[in-house]
Amino acid sequence: MKETFFLQTPPGLEKLAKKELELKFPGLAPQQALPSAQMERGGLSIELPVTIGLTLNYWLKIPNRILLRFAHFKCRDIPKLFNKVSKMDWSPFYAGQKVNFHISSHQSRLFDDRKISKALEDGLAQYLKRQEPKEKAKRRAHSFGSWHIYCRFEEDWCTLSIDTSGERLGLRGYKSDVGLAPLRENLAAALFLFTSLSEKEGPYHRDKIKALTLMDPFCGSGSLLTETALFYEPNLFRNYAFEFFPSWEQKNSPLKDLRRPSALNLDLPYFLVGSDIENARITTAHQNFKAAGIIEDEEDHILIQGDILDKEFCQRMAKNIFGAQKSNPVHAWCITNPPYGDRIKQPLTGPQLLENLNDWGPWQRIGLLLPADQKLPKKVGHYQQHSRLLFEHGGLKVAFTLYEPHPKS
């Protein structure tokens, strides 16, 4: 049986999320063709067998949440909403646990969040009186602490969606600490995929066995580096709401045989290099590498404290990356989220940073994430603009600008 799932994404990343789904789906369901996904603002909807749809929580790195669209009906008043909710079969998902309601309304006569939430709450309470859950189902649902139901009104129609993720998917579960103004993990994953898609050979995947050096000179807690290493791995560092559905262990449930994927395989051809001016951030990045299962060995990865304004430090880092370039050509990217905004002083403007990186060596890609209103040159030194990705980060419009070597360089 197929259900409709909505892959909720940060605005601006819908196309990239669809590409990730297309890349990973053949490995998740090799016997099934990928159904057409419909893009909407803030995500994409797709019909999938319920077990495959839920499994996307483990594998997809760009969405915020995976929602299961549970009901869609005409509704023009609060009593109708209460009656509908009270008579639905909530047994696969609900057993009296505390639920957070998320209400949105567009051109509908129902727009009062408090009244809508009260109708939903009362409807669920009425359902419980009519159908008391089993004790085992209650214990299972109550053992998980992050339940969400999304209720959207579009004109006279109501859509109810069950959150299958729990906490947003960007909270991977491996981070012990973050710095100021951290880059969310799902956005870091999006930057890696966007850079990967710009390669002439197509998306970068370990099956190609081509070594990749990735440098982040403002690595902070290491999100860009860690998300690169984990992009094609299942996220097994946390639990998900669907694993605590009351129906998980029901005898005739389609979820009965659903199990978590196998353990990580991080023996990847990546050389990860990160630096930060604050030693505390490097310490945090080390901790996060370890928690994520990334083995730290100077032959494989480097995390080091240093100032990109220090010419000697930059020369030393360039030598670490490109020192063997003549005898062993290096395929290297520099993608970074430099400081900006009020909380952290920006040490270099975008053009100054590009000039700095131009002197390091022959990067295949340079990518900078900055506020969308900061202008960057079309060409700097040996590099020219390749593409831009516009999206929202914490409510701020940002642009990830990607550079590649100029053909005449």
- Asked whether the domain spanning 185-232+260-405 has the same topology as the one spanning 2-163, the reply is no
> Residue 296's pLDDT band (boundaries 50, 70, 90)?
low
C-alpha span between 79 and 126 (Å, rounded): 13
For 324, the 3-state DSSP assignment is coil
> Residue 209's pLDDT band (boundaries 50, 70, 90)?
very low
Give the Cα-Cα-Cα angle 254, 84, 40 (nearest 5 degrees). Answer: 65
> Residue 2's pLDDT band (boundaries 50, 70, 90)?
confident
Higher pLDDT, 320 or 68: 68
Give the lowest-confidence range in 119-133, 201-215, 348-362: 201-215
pLDDT mean over 165-184: 84
Higher pLDDT, 200 or 155: 155
The DSSP H or E segment spanning 4 is strand 2-8
Say if residues 170 and 185 touch (Cβ distance below 8 Å).
Answer: yes
C-alpha span between 231 and 175 (Å, rounded): 16
Assign residue 296 a region (left: φ > 0; alpha: ψ between -120 and 50; beta: otherwise): beta
> Residue 10's pLDDT band (boundaries 50, 70, 90)?
very high
Question: Dihedral of the CA atoms 372, 374, 379, 380 (nearest 10)?
Answer: -130
Inter-helix orientation angle 78-87/113-130, to 10°:
30
Q: Which two tokens stand for residue 69?
A: 């669209």
Sorted by where each begins, the domain ranges of the chain are 2-163, 185-232+260-405
Neighbours of 95 (CB within 10 A): 23
Instruction: Report which DSSP code applies to 203.
Output: S
Neighbours of 290 (CB within 10 A): 13
Say if residues 200 and 262 touch (Cβ distance below 8 Å).
Answer: no
Q: For the chain, what's the residue count?
A: 409
> Residue 259's pLDDT band (boundaries 50, 70, 90)?
confident
For 389, the 3-state DSSP assignment is strand
Q: What is the largest CA-CA distance in the chain?
A: 75
**Closest C-alpha to 317, from 231, 230, 219:** 219
pLDDT mean over 326-333: 79
CATH superfamily placement of domain 185-232+260-405: Vaccinia Virus protein VP39 (3.40.50.150)
Amino acid 168: pLDDT? 95
The answer on pLDDT for 254 being more than 80 is no
Amino acid 144: pLDDT? 94
Amino acid 325: pLDDT? 67
pLDDT mean over 40-55: 93
Amino acid 393: pLDDT? 84
Percent of the chain with pLDDT over 70: 90
Q: Which fold has domain 2-163?
A: VC0802-like (3.30.2130)
User: Which residue do the tokens 């990186």 mark?
Assistant: 357
Amino acid 398: pLDDT? 94
Distance of CA 128 to the CA centre of its chain: 35
Higher pLDDT, 341 or 359: 359
pLDDT mean over 106-123: 94
Q: Going by C-beta distance under 8 Å and a sequence separation of 6 or more, which residues neighbour residue 271?
A: 211, 212, 213, 214, 300, 301, 321
Amino acid 30: pLDDT? 86
> Residue 28's pLDDT band (boundaries 50, 70, 90)?
confident
pLDDT mean over 341-369: 85
CB contact burial 155-179 (16+ within 10 A = b; e otherwise): eeebbbbbbbbbbbbbbbebbeebb
Give the Cα-Cα-Cα angle 315, 346, 220 (nearest 5 degrees). Answer: 70
Amino acid 396: pLDDT? 87
pLDDT mean over 17-23: 95
The answer on pLDDT for 251 being more than 80 is no
pLDDT mean over 166-192: 87
pLDDT mean over 293-299: 67
Say if residues 367 and 342 touch (Cβ distance below 8 Å).
Answer: no
